[in-house]
Amino acid sequence: MTAALSIPLALSALVFAFLAISDWRRLPGVARVELAVATAFVLAAVAHPGMSISAVVDHGHDGIAYVAALARVVGMVAALVSITTRVREFALGR
């Protein structure tokens, strides 16, 4: 039994695209990474329609599974950096 969420890849791509748009002026490097993650998720969604990230990584036996696995890790790091800097800016009143 896994505790992973079953969020479709297309929705994950939209989330990271929104993060990239919101971080574009504030953190341009992180925003570009988030845009790359969104692009990787779109490509995986086209190759494996209706599947979640976990399903593609676990059951996909093609190159897209490796791209999705890497994008998942890089995306979580980029999201944590974005959220951390946003909380720090809020706490310092900037």
Residue 57, domain member (yes or no) = yes
Any domain includes 70: yes
Tell whether 2 is covered by a domain: no
Q: Is residue 26 part of a domain?
A: yes
Q: Total structural domains in the chain? A: 1
Per-residue pLDDT reduced to its tens digit, 60-85? 788 999 999 999 999 999 999 999 99
Q: Classify residue 3: in a domain, yes or no.
A: no
Q: Is the pTM of this model over 0.75?
A: yes
**Cα separation of 38 and 25, whole Å?**
18
Residue 32 belongs to what domain range? 9-92
Per-residue pLDDT at 82: 95
Enumerate residue ranges in the chain where pLDDT < 50. 1
Could you tell me if residue 4 is inside a domain? no
Residue 39 lies in a domain: yes
CA–CA distance, 11 with 18 (Å, rounded to integer): 11
Using DSSP's 3-state secondary structure scheme, residue 2 falls into coil
In a domain, 1, yes or no: no
